[in-house]
Structure formats: C-alpha cells, structure tokens
Homo-oligomer: A and B are copies of this chain.
Amino acid sequence: MIGGGQGAFIGGVHRTAAAIAGNWQLVAGAFSSTAEKSKASGAEIGVDPARTYGSWAEMLEREAALPADQRIEAVSIVTPNHMHAPPAVAAMEAGFDVIIDKPLADSLANAQAIADVAARTGRRIAVTHTYTGYPLVKLMRKLVAGGGLGAVRRVSVKYTQDWLSRAADLEGNKQAAWRVDPARSGDAGAFGDIGTHAANLVEFITGARIASICAELTMLPGRRIDDDGAALFRLSGGGKGTLTASQICVGDMNDLAIAVYCEEAGLHWRQEEPNTLTVKRRDRPDEVYHAGGNRAYLPADLIAIQRTPGGHPEGYLEAFANIYRAFGEQLRGASGGAGEPGYATMDDALAGMNFLRAALQSSRDGAVWVDL
C-alpha cells in the first residue's frame, strides 16, 4: 500500500475492504511521504517493520527484488490525486498490477500517461469506483443490458454531501485541505471527488458513455475549486440526463442517488439505503428487489458476492470489498462473474477524466455544451 498513513481516511477503508474480501493480505507499505511517519503508521497497523518502507520508490525497488512467491502481488495506491500517477507508473514499470483510488489522476494528461504505461506493460489497473461494487447496482446494469426494459431515455443522478458547506470547513481538516488544493487535487473539486463517481455510475449502469455536457460549477467565496455544480448531459446511446455534485448541500451526508428511466421501466437506487432497488412500471405494481445472499430472484453471480442472507444489511465496506475481491480473482485467472470485471478499468477511468475535463471547460466558458 502506498499512502494511507496516520490521519488519512481512505487508506483505512481500503485495508478493511481487503480484509473483508478475504483474498488479500496487507504485507508491505509506504504509508506516508515521510519515512518516519510511514514507519509509525505501519507499526500501528501491524505491518512487518522490515516491509514498512520509507518511500514508495524504495518499496517498489525492494519488493521487486524479492523472489516472485515472496513479493507483493499488487500495489494499492491511496494517496491524494496528484500523487497517483508517479507511483502508478513506477509500479507498473516494476511489474506490479495496481489498484488505485479514484479519480485516476489529477489531470487528463497524467491519466493518459498511466494508461500508456499500462498498455505498454500489460499491467492491470483497477480504479475503486466503490459504488459499482454494490450488488444491486450490478443488477441495474444487468436489467438495462438485458434489453427487456428498452432504451434508456433519461437519467437523473445526484451525489451530494455537506462537509464543505461552511467557509470554516477548510481549516484544520486534512481531508479537506488536499481536496480543495488544485496542486494536489487537480483543477476539479467536488466534480472530481464525487462527480466522477456519479458519472461512472451512469456509465456503468447504462452501458453508454456521456457524450456531451453542459455544466455550471460554483464555489463558496474564497475557494479556488468547485464545491458545487450541476449539469445537463447527453448519452452516447441517445438518452438525456441531469447530474448534480455538491459538497455544500446541507444535511446530505453521502447522498448518491440515481434514477434510470427506460422505455418500459424506471430504476431507482440510493446509496445510503443500498440494499433495495425499486423498479417501477406502468402496468403493474412497483417491484422492490432486496440484496441478500439467499434471495432466489437474484442472479447467481450476484448472490456469490454477498456474505449474508437477505435482511442482514451489507454496506459500503462490503461494496468496497467486492472490488478488491474481484481484482484478486481477475489477477488469478477468474473470468469476472457478473459479466463485467468487477471494478472500474482503465477505460472507465479515462472516461471519467474526460468527463471532468469537459465539465470544467463547459463551466469556464459559461455553461455551454462541450463534447467529450
């Protein structure tokens, strides 16, 4: 693991997710940008001090030098956005597959650099767009892809939080500090941090790409990057949509919600209550699907990624674990149970970076339409 030391948030999530996945073990790490802090973090987590490195460069070099059956199998990168590309590129060059937190990089150029190296080296990249790890999100994708619901006409997606709703929220908050600093986060704020999740969700479920976008991004006085915005978009397949991403919507915690209207049904899912999916039609009662390893109406490959019977709620950490598990299975030769790899690929991540680029350009030019 690269990053995720003391005071970090997402690193701990990755570690717990890997523990739940059951097919990964954390055996080495460079947990901080300073050697001392990396050591302290490793000790706290219980990683072998001999494999707790002072820098990611050292880690890659020393691990690559170990015999194949003793070295790390893949690298997990959980640093701020601007520190994604350098270790990702180096890890692939050193022969390691990579799992990396979203967004792929702090700019489209850096993302493309990662993609180029991945293409050249043949290394795999998994990007943790967590929300596609939920079984019922995968069911939405299957229902749309199955064709029985007809074409997608309209999508409404929102991802709203409130932790930056006050001017003072930037003070003394490590999470906030790097996310709102263009030098570390990239040019995008809320649209990069959570808007890309929303866009990924749209593309994952519909099987289409966002083809053009008209976005208006704003920010509280004194801020340098967006903390709030909304967009109209058009899908490659012909449907239309709206997308809202905000970190100043007071009262909303982590409110990712999506409605996908097809010709014959509307699908509704909300991340904060992730174990139900509502399918609405005109001529029959709404259907409410429940997650759960024993719900016989769910496809077998979705049952396989759940740990408990229906009514024993699984949540965010289990969705995250599904990504780790799928990545492990893929690396070891499994075929990708749910008709998709189980994680966001390089292509998906590049689409997300392209989405960001277009949204920022649209907003800068006065909320005009920009093609992706």
Contact = CB atoms under 8 A, between A and B. Distances in A.
A242 B240 contact: no
Interface string A255-297: 1000101111110000111110011111111111110101011
A66 B264 CA distance: 55
A312 B250 contact: no
B214 A250 contact: no
Interface stretch (A80-88, A203-211, A347-355, A362-370): A362-370
A153 to B, nearest CB: 6
Contact of A318 (B246, B273, B281, B315): B315
Interface string A240-253: 11101010111111
B232 A240 contact: no
A228 B12 contact: no
A278 B252 CA distance: 12
A13 interface: yes
Interface stretch (A70-78, A96-104, A154-162, A179-187): A154-162
A323 interface: no
A250 B280 contact: yes
A299 interface: no
Given A232-B230, A312-B316, A248 B153 contact: yes
B228 A161 contact: no
Interface residues of A, number: 79
A303 to B, nearest CB: 14
A330 interface: no
Contact of A251 (B273, B282, B368): B282
A372 interface: no
Contacts of A345: none
Contacts of A6: none
A49 interface: no
A110 interface: no
A16 B290 contact: no
Contacts of A312: 254, 315-317
Given A253-B311, A316-B308, A275 B275 contact: no
Copy total for this chain: 4
Given A313-B272, A314-B315, A366-B369, A288 B290 contact: no
A8 interface: no
A313 B316 contact: yes
A259 to B, nearest CB: 8
B282 A285 contact: no
A312 B22 CA distance: 21
A266 B252 contact: yes
A266 B161 CA distance: 11
Interface in A195-233: 214, 216, 218, 228, 230-232
Nearest to A252: B266
B244 A310 contact: no
B248 A282 contact: no
A250 B232 contact: no
A286 B284 contact: no
Given A20-B317, A250-B265, A308-B317, 7 more contacts: A230-B241, A242-B242, A251-B286, A253-B290, A286-B288, A288-B288, A312-B316
Interface of A: 12-13, 16, 19-20, 22, 153-154, 156, 158, 161-163, 165, 214, 216, 218, 228, 230-232, 240-242, 244, 246, 248-255, 259, 261-266, 271-275, 278-290, 292, 294, 296-297, 307-318, 366-369
